[in-house]
Amino acid sequence: MNSQQSSIQGQLRRFEALCRDQGLPVTVQRRTVLETVLGRDDHPTADQIYEDVVARVAGISRTTVYRVLDMLVRFGMITKACHPGAMARFDGNTERHHHLVCLRCDRVIDLVDERLDALELPDTGHLDFEITDLRVQLYGVCANCRNEATASKPVTDETGAVLNPKKREKN
Ligand SMILES: [Zn+2]
Ligand SMILES: [Zn+2]
């Protein structure tokens, strides 16, 4: 068992204990949804989680998966990683961390950075807003998207002539 698998086992045990405390049954559905989120580090959407779960638990409905996700967030087993302008993304990593968000493919990559953790919080009293957590999202372009861009995008000069033809006629 590798370290990721053993930490998933630990989280599942924590979840079972929480359910016992609340008098809730640990159903196969609940376990499988949690295991799926913990097993992925790509911050999947609810629909992506549903696709994974339905492959393992035949007949589970989308609504059930959504409800279990909400329950897991309430229990603090997973978090909702905000993603403005798109569907909510779920995160099995509840340790303090930040996110690199690719503007082209919506990939969300975990970033651990002590200096960001230590950012001084602004005074938001005048906005009547109480800050309870700090998470920084940095936007940019991931390596995959940058490589794709340089591989396929022709560079043109001001007249539109292609300066980097893909194939050369002569060697
Ligand atoms: Zn990307
Ligand atoms: Zn994350």
Which CATH number covers residue 18?
1.10.10.10
The protein residues having their C-beta less than 5 angstroms from ligand 2 (an ion) are: 91, 93, 110
Report the pLDDT value the prediction gives residue 154, as an integer from 0 to 100. 64
83 lies in some domain: yes
Render 2-46 in DSSP notation, one character per residue: -HHHHHHHHHHHHHHHHHHHHT----HHHHHHHHHHHT--S--BH
Centre of ligand 2 from the C-alpha of residue 20, in Å: 28
Report the pLDDT value the prediction gives residue 84, as an integer from 0 to 100. 54
Centre of ligand 2 from the C-alpha of residue 98, in Å: 6
Centre of ligand 2 from the C-alpha of residue 151, in Å: 29
Closest ligand to Cα 145? 1
Report the pLDDT value the prediction gives residue 40, as an integer from 0 to 100. 94
131 lies in some domain: no
147 lies in some domain: no
Residues of the domain holding 36: 1-94
129 lies in some domain: no
148 lies in some domain: no
144 lies in some domain: no
Residue 169: is its pLDDT beyond 50?
Answer: no
Express each pLDDT in 75-99 by its tens digit.
999 998 866 556 889 999 989 999 9
The protein residues having their C-beta less than 5 angstroms from ligand 1 (an ion) are: 102, 104-105, 107, 142, 145
Express each pLDDT in 100-116 by its tens digit.
999 888 889 999 999 99
Express each pLDDT in 29-71 by its tens digit.
999 999 999 999 899 999 999 999 999 999 999 999 999 999 9
57 lies in some domain: yes
Count of the separate structural domains present in the chain: 1
Report the pLDDT value the prediction gives residue 3, as an integer from 0 to 100. 78
